[in-house]
């Protein structure tokens, strides 16, 4: 601010005293027209909780710090409570004098370094509740290993020496076994097995694991559903970071989503599943408005949708007598597979089965059709472009998928190879035999075995230009609207997918792909960081827009009317699109 503007602000400011524990402002019931500066003392910002969503600390503001600018700039859409944690003196600064500052380049720079970092979960000063943190951040100690031939006696001694309740056992096929305190009780002591037997006899193998980018809240729900108390955490390159226990994640439990997921699993027929699934949209609204950020909300939403898909498949299988359940896999594709679902997301899917099930192809296609009929009734519509498992193009044997993958890699322009590659690289098995998903293995070797196909992936990613207005917008006179997904999110997702393939990563989240690809020779670390920050901003804008639509009784979508956005959100969106376009140009220039 200029000196004269500062003088005007100082003259208009008012001083207020707050005792320990007193609430400075509660943004759940107050639409602000001010921001606050701490002159002395300390104020804690808290997520506002209810009986279903636990409150948690967002940040601590000390002398000289300000807060309230995000509620001010979004007309109260960002909600939290500010509470004095010691005797404090604060200045109330009028909104009409500070709001214009945030629309200036310096103000936007401040927001980019603070607000965007908060939204993308990268603030280092305050970590926030565990539920909104990647599970990799919760790993407390180095992993504990032993060999398959180690005796149970020596393995337990090793666990005791390392103060560990588990031990991991590397296997020859690249997988891991795991042995825990509970295994000692149930598989050794209770079963009367001698402690001199090799650990491989009583370990669990292959161990379930998660990648470090998964949200803690969704990992906990997976552990509760499977009945596990330990979960190995691996990097995208399959290096073990450590093991988290259910006790580490209990603070991440989102009670509302867990109860909904349990109800989904207990649904006895399609009608009951449909009735239970009506709570999915409300879950997104309650989570986001209750303080859960967009990334965590979409991750939890993806996990809940996975539960509906699995239950719909199980109910459909009940009428398919004699169809071997252990010989095929159901794949989720698209944003749900990346765990980036929005309330508007449709369901993309694929089927893969063991070659011996070839005579059952017709039954498998009909099974997929029944599943999607149930999902449609549950408010989870099938992909409008036909990328669903009931279509022969997306239902093949494991060897057929492997052959098709090699053909797409040899000639990406044949048989829509680029499009199919993009869909199947994102694929994630949500039900059945993981070994039937044969596509990712070929793409992990893409950089060395098919460099030309990888280059076409990049050119395809760069063809989706980030822009505020498209030719279609101009011709249809729709210049006052903006498609958040098509013109901003999709270019980032496609660049991230290409980036992941350059370092041998197939299925993963967009942020994880960008982080892994940083410094690959074409995408610099600063550009990868920028794309991650803009992606977090866009996901927040999308979630806020769709949650508001649901609350107003409208179907959710990605088309926003620019005039309905707050001035700061319009500025942030425009800046974000420009940042994406700038990264695209730099990557394109680096390829020449």
DSSP string spanning 33-72?
A: SEEEEEEEEEEEEE----SSS---EEEEE-TT-EE-HHHH
Alpha helices in 518-553 (DSSP H): 525-551
Q: Indicate the helix (H) or strand (E) that contains 559.
A: strand 559-561
Which stretches of 310-442 are assigned E, i.e. beta strand?
328-333, 348-353, 395-397, 428-432
- Nearest residue to 382 (alpha-carbon basis) of 346, 431, 351: 346
| SS3 (DSSP) at 448 | helix
Same domain, 222 and 295: no
Looking at the DSSP assignment, which residues form a beta bridge with residue 244? Answer: 231
Same domain, 368 and 464: no
Same domain, 282 and 420: yes
Same domain, 156 and 177: yes
Dist CA 481 CA 544 (whole Å)? 16
Dist CA 362 CA 572 (whole Å)? 50
Length of the chain: 592
Domain final residue, candidates 250, 279, 301:
250
Same domain, 268 and 212: no
Q: Name, in order, each residue with C-beta under 8 angstroms of 121's C-beta and a sequence gap of 6 or more.
A: 128, 132, 133, 134, 293, 295, 536
Parent domain of 356: 254-441
Same domain, 50 and 83: yes
Domain final residue, candidates 397, 420, 441:
441
Same domain, 262 and 409: yes
Looking at the DSSP assignment, which residues form a beta bridge with residue 390? Answer: none
CATH assignment at residue 278: 3.30.460.10
Domain final residue, candidates 409, 425, 441:
441
Q: How far is CA 53 from the centre of its chain?
A: 19
Q: Name, in order, each residue with C-beta under 8 angstroms of 552's C-beta and a sequence gap of 6 or more.
A: none
Burial, 502: exposed, middle or buried (Cβ in 10 Å; 0-12, 13-18, 19+)?
Answer: buried
User: Please, what's the largest Cα pairwise distance for the chain?
Assistant: 83
Same domain, 64 and 202: no
Dist CA 485 CA 324 (whole Å)? 39
Number of domains forming the structure of the chain: 4
Q: Indicate the helix (H) or strand (E) that contains 169.
A: strand 166-170
Dist CA 197 CA 293 (whole Å)? 48
Instruction: Give the predicted TM-score (pTM) of the model.
Output: 0.68
Strands 559-561 and 481-483: antiparallel
Ramachandran region, residue 477 (left: φ > 0; alpha: ψ -120 to 50; beta: rest): left
Dist CA 477 CA 487 (whole Å)? 16
Looking at the DSSP assignment, which residues form a beta bridge with residue 204? Answer: 178
The pLDDT assigned to 508 comes to 85
Same domain, 462 and 563: yes
Looking at the DSSP assignment, which residues form a beta bridge with residue 242? Answer: 233
Taking the CB of residue 326, how many other CB atoms lie within 10 A of it? 9
- Which residue ranges in the chain fall short of pLDDT 70? 48-59, 74-78, 103-132, 217, 221, 224-225, 247-256, 258, 469-479
Same domain, 265 and 399: yes
Same domain, 68 and 146: no
Q: Indicate the helix (H) or strand (E) that contains 272.
A: helix 270-277
Same domain, 239 and 274: no
CATH assignment at residue 67: 2.60.120.10
Burial, 140: exposed, middle or buried (Cβ in 10 Å; 0-12, 13-18, 19+)?
Answer: exposed
Taking the CB of residue 278, how many other CB atoms lie within 10 A of it? 10
């Amino acid at each position: 601010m200029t000196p004269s503007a500062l003088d005007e602000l100082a003259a208009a400011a008012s001083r207020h005293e707050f005792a320990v524990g007193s609430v400075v402002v509660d943004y759940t019931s107050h639409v602000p027209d001010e921001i606050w500066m701490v002159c002395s003392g300390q104020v804690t910002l808290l997520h506002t909780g209810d009986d279903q969503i636990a409150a948690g600390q967002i940040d601590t503001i000390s002398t000289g710090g300000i807060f309230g600018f995000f509620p001010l700039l979004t007309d109260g859409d960002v909600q939290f409570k500010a509470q004095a944690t010691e005797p404090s003196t604060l200045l109330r600064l009028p909104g009409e004098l500070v709001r214009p500052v945030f629309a200036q380049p310096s103000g936007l720079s401040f927001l980019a370094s603070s607000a965007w970092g908060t939204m993308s979960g990268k603030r280092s000063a305050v970590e926030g509740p565990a539920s909104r943190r990647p599970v990799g951040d919760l790993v407390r100690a180095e992993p504990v290993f032993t060999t398959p031939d180690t005796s149970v006696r020596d393995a337990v001694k090793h666990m005791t020496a390392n103060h560990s309740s588990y031990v991991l056992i590397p296997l020859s096929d690249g997988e891991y076994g795991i042995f825990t305190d509970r295994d000692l009780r149930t598989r050794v002591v209770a079963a009367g097995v001698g402690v001199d037997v090799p650990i491989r006899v009583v370990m669990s193998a292959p161990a379930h694991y998660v990648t470090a980018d998964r949200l803690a809240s969704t990992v906990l729900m997976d552990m509760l559903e499977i009945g596990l108390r330990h979960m190995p955490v691996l990097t995208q390159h399959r290096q073990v970071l450590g093991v988290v226990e259910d006790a580490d994640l209990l603070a991440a439990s989102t009670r509302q989503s867990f109860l909904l997921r349990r109800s989904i699993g207990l649904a006895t027929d399609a009608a009951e599943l449909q009735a239970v699934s009506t709570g999915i949209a409300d879950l997104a609204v309650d989570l986001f408005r209750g303080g859960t950020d967009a990334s965590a909300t979409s991750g939890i939403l993806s996990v809940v949708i996975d539960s509906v898909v699995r239950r719909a498949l199980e109910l459909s299988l009940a009428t398919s007598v004699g169809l071997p359940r252990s010989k095929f896999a159901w794949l989720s594709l698209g944003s749900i597979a990346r765990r980036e679902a929005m309330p508007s997301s449709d369901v993309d899917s694929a089927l893969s089965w063991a070659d011996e099930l070839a005579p059952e192809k017709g039954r498998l296609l009909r099974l997929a059709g029944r599943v999607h009929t149930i999902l449609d009734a549950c408010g989870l519509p099938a992909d409008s472009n036909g990328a669903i498992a009931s279509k022969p193009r997306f239902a093949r044997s494991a060897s057929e998928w492997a052959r098709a993958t090699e053909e797409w890699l040899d000639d990406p322009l044949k048989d829509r190879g680029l499009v199919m590659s993009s869909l199947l690289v994102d694929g994630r098995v949500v039900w059945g035999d993981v070994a039937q998903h044969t596509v990712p293995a070929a793409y992990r070797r893409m950089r060395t075995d098919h460099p030309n196909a990888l280059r076409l992936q990049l050119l395809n990613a760069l063809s989706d230009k980030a822009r505020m207005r498209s030719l279609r917008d101009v011709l249809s006179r729709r210049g006052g609207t903006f498609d958040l997904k098509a013109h901003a999110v999709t270019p980032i997702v496609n660049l991230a997918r290409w980036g992941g393939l350059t370092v041998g990563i197939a299925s993963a989240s967009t942020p994880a792909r960008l982080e892994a690809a940083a410094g690959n020779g074409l995408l610099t670390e600063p550009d990868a960081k920028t794309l991650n920050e803009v992606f977090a901003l866009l996901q927040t804008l999308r979630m806020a827009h769709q949650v508001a639509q649901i609350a107003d009784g409208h179907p959710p979508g990605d088309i926003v009317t620019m005039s309905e956005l707050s001035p700061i959100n319009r500025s942030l969106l425009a800046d974000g699109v420009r940042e994406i376009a700038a990264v695209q140009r730099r990557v394109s220039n680096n390829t020449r």
